[in-house]
Amino acid sequence: MKEVVVLGAGYAGLKTVVLLQKKLKNNVHITLVDRNNYHYEATDLHEAAAGTQSASRITYPISDVINPQITTFIQDEVVKIDPDKKTVKLAGHEELLHYDYCVLGLGFVSETFGIPGAEENALPMTNVKEALAIYDHIIAKMKDYRTTHNPDDLQIVICGGGFTGIELAGALVDARASYAKIAGVSPDEIKITLIEASTRLLPMFSEKLAEYGVNLVKSLNVQLLDGSRISKIEPGKVIYKHGDDDEESLNAGIIIWTTGVSGNPLMEECGFDAKRGRVIVTDHLTDPKHDDIYIIGDVAAVMPPDGKRPYPTTAQIALAMADYTAEDIVSRIKTGKHEAKPFTYKSLGTVASVGNTRAFGEAMGHELRGYPASAMKKIIADRSLLETGGLKELFAKGRFDLYH
């Protein structure tokens, strides 16, 4: 009986478990560890932060997809992985976990690039707790305004206009009228500002499509300060520099940090050869120094065959890595050999939502705008729900309103 220890129940880790349970019914035991007893759809965090979806709509219990005859789930914090002894130490358990194969899917954290005050004075949005803290803070500021009448309480600043920043801006636009009601003002008094260092947003899209997206966001009364690099965050104040101009600042009661993410710092702490929490993995998605350790999802850097930079970390590639990892582990348990073919990846497309009914992106070589893009976004989300959560989670949490 082989022991597979899977660390992290995000897109990569949880799907690996679900597939292994299906493919290896008798000759494996799996231990899954996560600090939470639920899985969350990280691609929907902006909706929980804005309050346009409840936390329960973007999460489901891990126990829903676990087969207890094959898998033991442990809710705990991973403290250390020892690749030489093949053990894992958890914070709340004396006993070490021993593995034949270990799958690291430990996810991402917010990247502040050492910008002073960012950690202390801006709100990150990398997990459900953080997203809910943002929502609570927005509501508290709206309530404050009723007594302070300070317009700063109505100013929301999103730091970083990448995918996450743009999608968050869209969800905040959807929620704007409800915030205004709480504050007792008209919706256009709630100011939403995106501050972005680059002048060419969303570089993965063609210039025309990125411009469409930017104009869409702007048309919804979101102020975009592009070419503006944030240099410091003080309590209630964002300081930035536009080109060579002098520093400028913007007061805001609500400052949200979306300038990018890095892999879990535990990777470096455990001695893996990682950069910003990511390890360049082998063709079989294993650690170059330890063939029994798979590194997948946001802690992995996968190099395209002809490229110089790794693929961007997305839910889609994390799910593809889970497919491969499960196949490879099955192959090794059954035949003692890796899969003959290395991991390859082809993106099915990328769609950014701007609120519930607007989106833009590209899928299978076609650029999509407006309604079809929004439907595609929901189809992509539902596919991931179905593949890992199964029909139960799809029916409970799926997005059907556009394409049924």
**312 near ligand NAD, rule: CB under 6 A:** yes
Of the candidates 30, 195, 293, 375, which one interacts with ligand NAD according to CB under 6 A?
A: 195
DSSP code of residue 235: T
Q: Work out whether 102 is an interface residue with ligand NAD (CB under 6 A).
A: no
196 binds ligand NAD (CB under 6 A): yes
- The 10 Å Cβ neighbour count of residue 87 is 16
Structure tokens at 7: 């660390």
Q: What is the rounded CA–CA span in Å between residue 107 and residue 259? A: 17
Rounded to a whole number of angstroms, the minimum distance from the CB of residue 373 to ligand NAD is 11
- Decide: is 156 part of the binding site for ligand NAD (CB under 6 A): no
Query: Which amino acids are annotated catalytic?
Result: 167
Angle at 380 between CA 377 and CA 383, to 5 degrees: 150
C-alpha count within 13 angstroms, C-beta hemisphere, residue 287: 24
Buried b or exposed e, range 238-277, using 16+ CB within 10 angstroms: bbbbeeeeeeeebebbbbbbbbbbbbbebbbebebebebb
Residues touching ligand NAD, count (CB under 6 A): 26
State yes or no: residue 48 binds ligand NAD (CB under 6 A): no
**Whose Cβ is closer to ligand NAD: residue 10's or residue 160's?**
160
Q: How far is the CB of 290 from ligand NAD (least distance, A)?
A: 26
313 is an interface residue for ligand NAD by CB under 6 A:
yes
How far apart are alpha carbons 149 and 48 in whole angstroms? 27
> Considering only 71-79, 264-272, 348-356, 392-400, which stretch makes contact with ligand NAD by CB under 6 A?
348-356
Is residue 153 part of the contact set for ligand NAD (CB under 6 A)? no
Under the binding rule (CB under 6 A), the answer on residue 121 touching ligand NAD is no
CA distance 151 to 167: 24
Q: Does 347 bind ligand NAD (CB under 6 A)?
A: no
Asked whether the beta carbons of 387 and 319 are under 8 A apart, the reply is yes
* Strand spans (E) along 51-100: 59-61, 71-75, 78-82, 87-90, 93-98
Give min distance, CB of 293 to ligand NAD, in A. 24
Q: Is 71 in the site for ligand NAD (CB under 6 A)?
A: no
Q: Is 143 in the site for ligand NAD (CB under 6 A)?
A: no
CB of 131 vs ligand NAD, minimal distance in Å: 13
Answer yes or no: are the C-beta atoms of 205 and 362 closer than 8 Å.
yes
3-state DSSP assignment of residue 352:
strand
The residue sitting closest to ligand NAD, measured at its beta carbon, is 162
To the nearest whole angstrom, how small is the minimum distance from the Cβ of residue 7 to ligand NAD? 21
Q: Is 310 in the site for ligand NAD (CB under 6 A)?
A: no
Q: Which of 87, 347 has the CB closer to ligand NAD? A: 347
Q: How far is the CB of 165 from ligand NAD (least distance, A)?
A: 6
Residue 203-232 contact track with ligand NAD, rule CB under 6 A, x = bound: --------------------------xx--
Where in 248-307 is the site for ligand NAD (CB under 6 A)?
Answer: 258-261
Piece in contact with ligand NAD (CB under 6 A), picked from 77-85, 90-98, 192-200, 243-251: 192-200
Pick from 333, 384, 391, 330: nearest CA to 22: 330
Among residues 393, 356, 364, 119, the alpha carbon closest in space to that of 257 is found at: 119
Report the residue from 16, 21, 31, 43 that binds ligand NAD according to the rule CB under 6 A. Answer: 43
Q: How far is CA 30 from the centre of its chain?
A: 25
381 versus 394: smaller Cβ distance to ligand NAD: 381
366-385 binders of ligand NAD (CB under 6 A): none
Q: How far apart are CA 63 and CA 273, in angstroms?
A: 33
For ligand NAD, the closer CB: 297 or 389 = 297
b/e string for 339-363 if b means 16 or more Cβ within 10 A? beeebeeeeebbbbbbbbebbbbbb
Interface ranges with ligand NAD (CB under 6 A): 43, 113, 115, 160-165, 167, 195-198, 229-230, 258-261, 312-314, 350-352
